[in-house]
């Protein structure tokens, strides 16, 4: 049994100022607004400027989350960031954010789990709070996928945007209605070749050849990812609900990874959840990887859709392959 309960104290988010819509993309790649909308549900996405990096947008999301909570900056005792597009291979983006926040002598690290990074980070934050190792954890989901987009691949270049979201996971008081109920995370490394960035690591260091061949960009087998995404997110949510003696009808809101509207609709159909109970903002942001869930959560909270006491289900799928779900009473 855990020593303490964990809860969501607050969320925050940020998207870069530059907005690129489908008509803009028509001018630089062979595509159309109709093609993108019918296959993905996307219309706009936000792009970082050449000078902006992951920590620049993460710090704004983190500050918004902290300011929205009752937690003081000095009370943050751990930072976990889910990202695959950090400022540098090292130090971690979490450490860069820590510096920008002026926090010292607390642990800070990144998690590389693709689009599932935020859910993985929440699972870890929950555990740290439950076992008493931390009281207030800053969890960040941030990615700048436009910096690793292959602009010669019309099937993938239209999908990605940049963004950041953050949550404060805190120790719950005995009378708190809010609680992170349970979470599950999984991986299957045998399917890693379906979604990956080939070059830039120790397997294939950067060279003129790797740059010329676009090997520092996202490679994805879209059709196989589509099928895996629906199947895996359903499996983790179904198992999570069953082991907590709940059914999908008991959930007030489902907040899925915003990868593709067809995937979201397919998942809702398998769960027998009406789309009216699913938070969707993919048309405004595209796929921002680990940032999609906190971006959607923060927007829904500020719009007063999600309210304290609501049962929420977060679920994601990403490179690795990784997937996972989290159940909470917000």
Give the three-state DSSP class for 314.
strand
Q: Which residues are catalytic?
A: 115, 257, 287
Contact between 178 and 7 (Cβ < 8 Å): yes
Using CA atoms, how far apart are residues 163 and 271, in angstroms rounded to an integer?
28
Give the three-state DSSP class for 18.
strand
Using CA atoms, how far apart are residues 241 and 99, in angstroms rounded to an integer?
39
Which distant-in-sequence residues (6+ apart) come within 8 Å of 90 by Cβ? none
In 10 A of CB 173, how many CB atoms?
10
Q: Fill in the DSSP letter of residue 177.
A: S
Sign for the CA dihedral angle at 126, 132, 137, 141 comes to negative
Give the three-state DSSP class for 28.
coil
């Amino acid at each position: 049994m855990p020593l303490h309960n964990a809860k969501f104290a607050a969320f925050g988010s940020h998207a870069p100022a530059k907005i690129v819509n489908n008509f803009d993309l028509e001018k630089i790649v062979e595509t159309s607004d109709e093609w993108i909308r019918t296959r993905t549900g996307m219309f706009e996405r936000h792009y970082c400027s050449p000078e902006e990096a992951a920590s620049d947008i993460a710090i704004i999301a983190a500050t918004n989350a902290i300011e929205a909570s009752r937690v003081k900056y000095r009370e943050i005792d751990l930072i976990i960031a889910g990202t695959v597009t950090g400022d540098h291979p090292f130090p971690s983006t979490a450490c860069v954010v820590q510096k920008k926040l002026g926090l010292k002598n607390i642990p800070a690290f990144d998690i590389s789990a693709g689009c599932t990074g935020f859910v993985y980070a929440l699972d870890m934050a929950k555990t740290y709070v439950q076992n008493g190792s931390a009281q207030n954890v800053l969890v960040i989901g941030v990615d700048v996928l436009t910096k690793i987009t292959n602009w010669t691949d019309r099937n993938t270049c239209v999908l990605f945007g940049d963004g950041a979201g953050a949550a404060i996971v805190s120790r719950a008081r005995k009378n708190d209605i809010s609680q992170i109920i349970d979470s599950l995370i999984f991986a299957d490394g045998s399917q890693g070749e379906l979604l990956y960035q080939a070059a830039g690591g120790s397997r294939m260091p950067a060279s003129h050849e790797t740059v010329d061949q676009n090997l520092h960009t996202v490679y994805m087998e879209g059709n196989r990812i589509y099928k895996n995404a629906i199947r895996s997110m359903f499996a983790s949510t179904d198992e999570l609900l069953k082991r907590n003696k709940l059914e999908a009808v008991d959930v007030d809101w489902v907040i899925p990874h915003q990868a593709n509207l067809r995937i979201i609709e397919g998942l809702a159909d398998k769960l027998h959840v009406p789309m009216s109970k699913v938070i969707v903002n993919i048309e405004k942001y595209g796929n921002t990887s680990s940032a999609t869930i906190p971006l959607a959560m923060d927007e829904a909270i500020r719009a007063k859709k999600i309210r304290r006491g609501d049962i929420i289900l977060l679920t994601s799928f990403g490179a690795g392959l990784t997937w996972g779900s989290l159940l909470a009473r917000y």
